[in-house]
Amino acid sequence: VNLEGVWRVAGRDSSRLPSTLPDLEAARSATNVTSFARSRLGPTESTLVLTYASFSYRTTLMNWMLSLERVGVRSFGVICLDQELRTFLETRGIPCYLVDADEIRSTSKSAPPAKGAGKRRRSSRATGGGTAAGDESITKLSVKQIGRLWILRLTHLVELLEAGINVVFSDSDAVWVKNALANGLLSERTGDIVMSRGKFPFDLTAKWGAAGCMGVGFFRAIPSVLNVVKKGLSEGLVNNDDQVGMNRALASVFGEDPIPMFGHKLELYSPQHDVVPGLSNQPRFVLLSHNSVPRFCNAVTEQAWATEVQIAHCHPRDGVVAKTHKNWGSSMARNAVLERYGLLCDLVDTAPEEQAAFSAWLTETAVTCKFCTFVASSDRGEAPKGSGASDGSLNSLASAEAAPPGAEEIVLGPEVEEVD
């Protein structure tokens, strides 16, 4: 199924698209994440799409930006986790907000992680990224510290909601097939808290039937949402994980029994949205259908891919049979699954450095690049071996830097969620 027609907006003339280059100086002068966010929004815009990435994920990030450009989403911000990525982006005219080790360490002021909180194998990520010589790389924190990066995301969310800015979290391996802002999927037209569907934390999924995934979600800047997110931050600090924190906060507000909440027990692969209406002091919580934002893409039919998928967030272990998955959270694994489902632009590694040339490349390549072509399950066979990017790609160095077993240094990339 070729989804090229789904990507193209009817009557869209790419020559008339506004420049994708933002005001670099305004972003560079940002003193906190709120001022950075405001520099990324137009005068009538109130919702920012936010992603977090390090230098080793630059190919994945470029692919994500191409998908946003193709569907017409330009109100996005990148949180850079090392100076190398910031330099890489700003050279091409794309600003980012750089966080450092001190900011990350300051997010954790609570007790040690709760028992069992480490079941999410964040330590299996590959090493990559890093800052300039002499600087301490925030992407090379110990396994005990890496959870603070996830807490930073909730801390930023609280700050932005308090400032009246709606937030859409989108992992950089979540490829946008449709404009989920313009069509209302990720907006207050759907709900106040809108999350994609996953299965972690497992204890809550055992009760609800599914859980909310932080990899793709919308949070409306209203008091009831802010209260839930603050609860999520408190829970996240205890459990060292943002997704655990938000789901447990939702359970504390709405309950652990899905029947009073949703009217039925949830299904992981449900083709329908599930809605908790909320009371006057509660937010409207919506768990999106699995077909609209699939996490386990091996379960999606050809018809659903052609007609329902809006953002494809395929898990790197989805459909992959292997004895070990020591580096399944690395950029290599992420790009491999993007290739597996035809979601990786074949021209992603041809981006020029000069700003004007890059802007023209982004606009043109977003339209002409051959990607988002669904490959049927029967035709895929075994998962591709080796790097998801071709030789000489932007990720080639990162692919060669896979962490050895037991490594204490890991890199923050897109949201990780256990499959088994």
Q: Which tokens sit at 295? A: 């996490």
How much is the pLDDT for 136?
42
Return left, alpha or beta for 381; rule: phi > 0 is left, psi -120 to 50 is alpha, else beta: left
Tell me the β-bridge partners of 198: 211
Helix, strand, or coil (residue 369): coil
Please tell me the distance from the alpha carbon of residue 308 to that of residue 292, in angstroms, as a whole number: 5
Contact present, 209 and 267 (Cβ < 8 Å): yes
Task: Write down the pLDDT at residue 419.
Answer: 37
Distance CA 120, CA 139 (A): 18
Nearest CA among 319, 336, 326 for reference residue 393: 336
Give Cα 229 to chain centroid, integer Å.
Answer: 18
Whether the CB-CB separation of 169 and 198 falls below 8 Å is answered with: no
Which amino acid belongs to residue 90? E
pLDDT value of position 415 = 36
Helix orientation angle between 143-162 and 242-254, rounded to the nearest 10 degrees: 50
Task: Indicate the SS3 state at residue 51.
Answer: strand
Q: What is the pLDDT of residue 109?
A: 52
In this structure, are strands 311-312 and 76-80 parallel, antiparallel, or unpaired? unpaired
Q: Characterize 297-310 residue by residue with b for buried, 16 or more Cβ atoms within 10 angstroms of its Cβ, and e for exposed.
A: beebeeebbeebbb
Measured between alpha carbons, how far is 221 from 216 in angstroms, rounded to an integer?
17
CB 239 within 8 A of CB 114: yes
What residue has token string 């110990």?
A: 142
pLDDT at residue 168, as a whole number: 98
Scanning the structure block, which residue is given the tokens 């137009």? 42
Is there a contact between 49 and 324 (Cβ–Cβ < 8 Å)?
no
Per-residue tens of pLDDT for the chain, all 420 residues: 433 333 333 233 333 334 444 478 888 889 999 999 999 998 899 999 999 999 999 999 999 999 999 999 999 999 999 999 999 999 999 999 999 666 666 665 543 333 333 333 332 222 222 333 333 444 444 445 556 778 999 999 999 999 999 999 999 999 999 999 999 999 999 999 999 999 999 999 999 999 999 999 999 999 999 999 999 999 999 988 999 999 999 999 999 999 999 999 999 999 999 999 988 799 999 999 999 999 999 999 888 988 999 999 999 876 555 544 444 556 788 888 898 889 999 899 999 999 999 999 999 999 998 777 655 444 444 333 322 233 223 332 222 223 323 322 223 333 333 333
DSSP assignments along 22-48, one per residue: --HHHHHT--SHHHHHHHHS-TT--EE
Cα distances (angstroms) measured from residue 104 to each of 38, 100, 107, 145, 362:
22, 7, 5, 9, 32
Task: Report pLDDT for 371.
Answer: 75
* Closest alpha carbon to 266 in 249, 252, 283, 254: 254
For residue 147 the two structure tokens come to 């959870």
Closest CA to 30 of 192, 163, 206: 163
Measured in whole angstroms, the distance separating CA 416 from the mean position of its chain's CA atoms is 9
